[in-house]
A and B are shown apart, each in its own frame.
Chain A
Amino acid sequence: MTENEYIGGLQNHNANAYGRLLDDFQQKVFATCISFVPNKEDAEDIAQDVFVEVFNSIGKFKGNSKLSTWIYRITTNKCLEFIRKRNTKKRFAFLQSITGNEIPMDKTSYFTEMNHPGVILENKEKSETLFCAINELPEAQKVVFTLHKVDGKSYQEISDITEKSVSSVESLMFRAKKNLQNTLENFYKNEN
């Protein structure tokens, strides 16, 4: 099956083509999802939503970018959408409960329950702190940092996914690292 036939099959909602798509991308999409949302169940739900979105929007895919890039773009957007929704819910719950002032980087206000099977037990607390700190970053920095440092994508791949130049990706990465350093510094100072 050539690339064009494959994409044609996806556009005609051919079950074999979707079987191949899932074989090729289920692990990659899931890996990206769990990098953003460190909870296995949530990450699987988002990954499923990604494939449903691909199914519904494949007609709009014009082949201007690689299929993989287009799928990763959908994945990133779905993850951000999930985080935004969860953060709003948490903020609303916080306002309702009125339990006191929110301290910076309060772990209880984190959008999901940490359940990442890839994190070893002794690193669990540090990972929670790190994911909370990443969640505090502005969205563009969060995307670049997560895709590069957690998901292990190259600057070129991130540049294609985010439709930004490699130099802006590098600059976002630099700012993300700086902000993370500050957030973690404040966190550990408050802890002492």
Chain B
Amino acid sequence: MDTNKNIQSKIDSTLSVMDAIETVNVSPFFKDKTMQRLFAEKEETTTVWNWFTPKLQLATLVCVVVLNVIAFPKLDDATSYDENVSEFAESYGLSASDDDTSILN
């Protein structure tokens, strides 16, 4: 019984701590720091990325996609071109093997 009373008094005194909390003042430089952060962020966003409007972003994306679509079939042509060149080089003895180019030989 005494323990219960003791516990209850502890709880009451813990809860009463809230009434004793004093007001804390914000640091004197808070306003300056915050203003600096707000307007530094604004400048950065306006000067660096303002010109890159959503329309331009879309146009860039379309360009990249179109370039990729055009370049992809060309890949096959490029490989056949390489084959032709190496065939030509082999037939005329122009192909350079590792042994030929070695300085030690």
- A residues contacting B by CB (< 8 A) are 13, 15, 18-19, 22-23, 26-27, 30-31, 34, 40, 44, 47-48, 51-52, 55, 116-120, 123, 126-127, 129-130, 133, 149-150, 180-181, 184-185, 188-189, 192
Q: Which residue of B is nearest A150, CB measured?
A: B18
- The answer on a CB contact under 8 Å between B24 and A184 is no
- The answer on a CB contact under 8 Å between B24 and A34 is yes
- Would A118 and B37 be within 8 Å (CB), given that A150-B18, A185-B7 are in contact? no
- Would A26 and B11 be within 8 Å (CB), given that A31-B24, A44-B26, A127-B21 are in contact? no
List of B residues within 8 angstroms of A15 by Cβ: 35, 39
Contact of B3 among A48, A120, A126, A192 (CB under 8 A): A192
List of B residues within 8 angstroms of A27 by Cβ: 25-26
List of A residues within 8 angstroms of B42 by Cβ: 13, 55
Per DSSP, are chain B's interface residues mostly helix, strand or loop, or mixed? helix
**Known interface pairs A31-B23, A55-B38; 13 further A-B residue pairs with C-beta atoms within 8 A, sorted by A's residue number:** A15-B39, A27-B26, A40-B24, A48-B34, A116-B24, A117-B22, A118-B21, A119-B21, A126-B14, A130-B15, A184-B14, A184-B15, A188-B10
- The answer on a CB contact under 8 Å between B17 and A188 is no
B74 interface contact, C-beta 8 A: no
The 9 A-B residue pairs with the shortest CB-CB distance in the complex, in nearest-first order: A118-B22, A30-B26, A118-B24, A184-B11, A22-B31, A188-B7, A126-B17, A126-B14, A118-B21
- The answer on a CB contact under 8 Å between A185 and B11 is yes
Q: Which residue of A is nearest B16, CB measured?
A: A126
- The answer on a CB contact under 8 Å between A123 and B33 is no
Q: Which residue of B is nearest A41, CB measured?
A: B27
Contact of A44 among B3, B27, B35 (CB under 8 A): B27
Give the shortest distance, in Å, between B42 (CB) and chain A (any CB). 6
B79 interface contact, C-beta 8 A: no
- The answer on a CB contact under 8 Å between B24 and A22 is no
- The answer on a CB contact under 8 Å between A180 and B25 is no
Chain B contacts with A in 1-21, Cβ cutoff 8 A: 3, 7, 10-11, 13-15, 17-18, 20-21
